[in-house]
Amino acid sequence: MTDGNIPQPELVTTREAANALGVSAGTLKAARLHRLPSNPLRDLPYVAIGRAIRYRRSDIVAWIERNTVRATGGT
């Protein structure tokens, strides 16, 4: 690396993903386990590594983009 930047890991913990999304880790876990059937977080992809759950940063960003409500420009 020549620019001095330290790359961030692609996979983050449930707590880190929850912080990025502005929800609690418990809410994210409940959505993942489909205990919150109407919550759009249930569609957020995750990676299971044994018993550890991780989220890809790119999936979090893509989920935010898919769930962003755009203004219609109405008066």
Residues 28-71: tens digit of each pLDDT: 999 999 898 889 999 999 999 999 999 999 999 999 999 999 88
More confident residue, 4 or 2: 4
- Domain, as residue range, for 17: 11-66
Give me the residues paired with residue 48 across strands.
53
Q: Is residue 72 part of a domain?
A: no
Q: Is residue 38 part of a domain?
A: yes
What's residue 75's pLDDT?
62
What's residue 1's pLDDT?
46
User: Is the entire prediction scored with pTM above 0.85?
Assistant: no
Domain total in the chain: 1
Q: Is residue 5 part of a domain?
A: no
User: In which band, very low, low, confident or very high, does the pLDDT at 14 lie, cut at 50, 70 and 90?
Assistant: very high
Q: Is residue 62 part of a domain?
A: yes
